[in-house]
Structure 1
């Protein structure tokens, strides 16, 4: 199942810089592992914001929920999820 996910990160202004740096490094490592697994298919930065738009390819909404909760920055995110389905006019065979 494909999901469009927007994540807006809002770190507390009083968070120590070293704590923020550690969280960001841990988030990057987790993201790259999920990208290598094929579950996090695409990510795009939203210009001028600490936000991204991503496409996830997972087996179920529950799997997506668990994956999102496993992100180190999850406690500091506002997340919007939209399930996707293949458009009949798509030329791409890997759309599901």
Structure 2
């Protein structure tokens, strides 16, 4: 099942910058592994924001929730999910 996932990171004031950098580096490695596994198909940065739009190919919403909630920056995320299905005009 395909999902379009839009993630924006919102770090509150007062959070330790070094900790945020550490979480961000760990998250990049986790997403790269999910890409190697074939589950995180695409990731694009939203220009000018700490945000991305991604396409994931997963078994269902439960797997999506497990993956997103396991990301190191999850406590600071605003997440929007759009389930996708094939369009009849798609080749």
Q: TM-score range by the shorter chain?
A: over 0.9
| Count of paired positions | 91
Calculate the TM-score normalised by the size of structure 1: 0.91
Aligned to 1:26: 26
Whole-Å Cα distance in 1 between the matches of residues 16 and 46 of structure 2?
A: 25
Whole-Å Cα distance in 2 between the matches of residues 61 and 20 of structure 1?
A: 27
Aligned to 1:52: 52
Return the offset for 1:13: 2.4
* SS of equivalent residue, structure 1 residue 27: helix
Calculate the TM-score normalised by the size of structure 2: 0.95
Runs in 1 of length 4+ with deviation above 3 angstroms?
A: none
1:1-96 pair list within 5 angstroms: 1-91=1-91
- Consecutive unaligned residues in structure 2, runs of 5 or more: none
- Consecutive unaligned residues in structure 1, runs of 5 or more: 92-96
